[in-house]
Amino acid sequence: MSTHHEPLPRGRHGLTRDQVRDSQRARLLLGMAESVAEHGYPRATVATVLNRVHVSRETFYQHFSDKEDCFLAVLDESAKLLASALAAGAGTATGPALPRLERVLTTYFTTLSEQVPFARVFFVESYAAGIPAQRKRVEVQERFVDLMVTAFADSPEWRTLPDPRFACRLVVGGISSLVSAALIKGEAATLPGTAPKVVELVRHLVSPGAESSTRV
């Protein structure tokens, strides 16, 4: 991956000062995400970001204090992206739990497959970026756990488990590991197709021996 983004046009371009700043910041965030996805966090530098997005070093330091500050901002954007994908997939809280879970996972996996640099920042490179980044990762993962707990709150089979929340945490942890492996292997495009497999596994967890047509 080696994407380079065209600079903003010089002279009169019709953008307000705030719009220019917002555009610069967005380009720097995307440039950092792509640089980290390509080189890894330790090897990505401010220089590689600037070369990719054609923004001056002075402009970079108007937005961020250093590389880590920019990376944490990328991580925040990644967290917002994932939270939005989960919310969009959840939709209405009515209907059987497992079909709703499949909708959530399909939307979630599709978003990850379409936003690989941000997904890789969150699932892979956050481990190399220190404790603040790692805590942000765990925080968003817990949101996924909360969503799953809510989705299965009315499921009689799920309530019979010894610790339903712990079960949700295990499932979400497994999903996270699945996503990380796909990103590391360059197989993000395969993620949406795994949603039915995850749901089928959960179905057997909550209803051992149940047929595929059974709905929780």
Q: Residue 150: exposed, middle, or buried by beta-carbon count in 10 A (0-12, 13-18, 19+)? A: middle
Question: Is-above-0.85 flag for pTM?
Answer: no
CA distance 216 to 209: 13
**What is the tens place of the pLDDT at every residue in 146-191?**
877 887 777 777 777 888 899 889 988 999 999 999 999 999 999 9
Phi, psi at 189, each rounded to 5°: -65, -20
> How buried is 66 (Cβ within 10 angstroms: 0-12 exposed, 13-18 middle, 19+ buried)?
exposed
What is the pLDDT, as a whole number, of residue 1?
A: 44
| Domain 17-67, CATH class in plain words | mainly alpha
Name the nearest CA neighbour of 101 among 212, 26, 203.
203
**pLDDT tens digits, 26-35:** 999 999 999 9
pLDDT digits (tens, 9 = 90+) for 74-130: 988 888 888 787 777 666 556 677 888 888 889 889 999 998 988 888 888 888 888
Which sequence spans correspond to the domains of the chain? 17-67, 68-206
Q: Which CATH architecture has domain 68-206?
A: Orthogonal Bundle (1.10)
